[in-house]
A and B are shown apart, each in its own frame.
Chain A
Amino acid sequence: SAVISQKPSRDICQRGTSLTIQCQVDSQVTMMFWYRQQPGQSLTLIATANQGSEATYESGFVIDKFPISRPNLTFSTLTVSNLSPEDSSIYLCSVDGTGDYEQYFGPGTRLTVT
């Protein structure tokens, strides 16, 4: 199993600013994933973060808007840049389970852009 924490749990940000979200895992994992869940919708994968290499972004998501860091095997950050109200969402990180097929999700960061 894996225990994931995220900071902050929620934030209210002004348009044009940026927010950096931290994800910490209690064990070393190869891949970490960042998802977005817009209000009333399901989860959409933003990018995959591997340690020691650039993140891989899904269609519709770009590095300039969502820069990601992965400095070690237990930690990653996602920055949401140049915020607009459309970025108001819950952002979740997730990791593969070690030795099982489960995918574990962090508690999420609720972002509101005003």
Chain B
Amino acid sequence: GQNIDQPTEMTATEGAIVQINCTYQTSGFNGLFWYQQHAGEAPTFLSYNVLDGLEEKGRFSSFLSRSKGYSYLLLKELQMKDSASYLCALTGTTDSWGKFQFGAGTQVVVTP
């Protein structure tokens, strides 16, 4: 299996930085993805990692360590609109990038 664990909820203030951790147990995967999902909306892509290391995309960065079974999503300069659920997801191991297994999601609450 690919058990994926994320904290249930995190609270941070506007302008701050928040780090959302994701740990997993799996024998292999193609990539680790992070999605943002606002209530009632479809998930939107934020970042992905195929190789170990840090990937930066504006205010969002994602890190992967395959040897440690660990990833994190870093959100900088938090804005109120960043209040959402953040989903960690692993892609399939063989036939397709599209077969995701998602973590339960981390609800981030940004306060003024």
Real complex partners, A and B? yes
Q: How far is the CA of A31 from the CA of B92 in the complex (A)?
A: 13
- Say yes or no: is B102 at the interface (Cβ < 8 Å to chain A): yes
Name the contact of B42 in the complex, choosing from A45, A102, A105 (C-beta under 8 A).
A105
Q: How far is the CA of A42 from the CA of B106 in the complex (A)?
A: 10
Closest-CB distance, B29 to chain A (whole angstroms): 13
Instruction: Determine whether the beta carbon of B99 is less than 8 Å from that of A45.
Output: yes
The residues in A between 57 and 111 inclusive whose CB is less than 8 angstroms from any CB of B are 92, 94-96, 101-108
| Interface SS, A side | strand
Tell me which residues across on chain A come within 8 A of B104, comparing CB atoms. 41-42
CB 8 Å contact bits of B42-78 with A (1 = contact, 0 = none): 1111001010000000000000000000000000000
Instruction: Determine whether the beta carbon of B33 is less than 8 Å from that of A103.
Output: yes
Q: How far is the CA of A105 from the CA of B41 in the complex (A)?
A: 10
Closest-CB distance, B93 to chain A (whole angstroms): 13
Instruction: Determine whether the beta carbon of A45 is less than 8 Å from that of B100.
Output: yes
- Say yes or no: is A48 at the interface (Cβ < 8 Å to chain B): yes
- Say yes or no: is B96 at the interface (Cβ < 8 Å to chain A): yes
Closest-CB distance, A67 to chain B (whole angstroms): 19
- Say yes or no: is B98 at the interface (Cβ < 8 Å to chain A): yes
Tell me which residues across on chain B come within 8 A of A48, comparing CB atoms. 96, 98-99
Q: How far is the CA of A4 from the CA of B37 in the complex (A)?
A: 16
Instruction: Determine whether the beta carbon of B42 is less than 8 Å from that of A107.
Output: yes
Closest-CB distance, B68 to chain A (whole angstroms): 22
Further 12 A-B residue pairs, CB within 8 A, beyond A42-B87, A42-B104, A45-B100:
A31-B98, A41-B104, A43-B102, A48-B99, A94-B98, A95-B98, A96-B96, A96-B98, A101-B31, A103-B98, A108-B41, A108-B42
Interface residues, chain B, CB within 8 Å of chain A? 31, 33, 41-45, 48, 50, 87, 89, 96-105
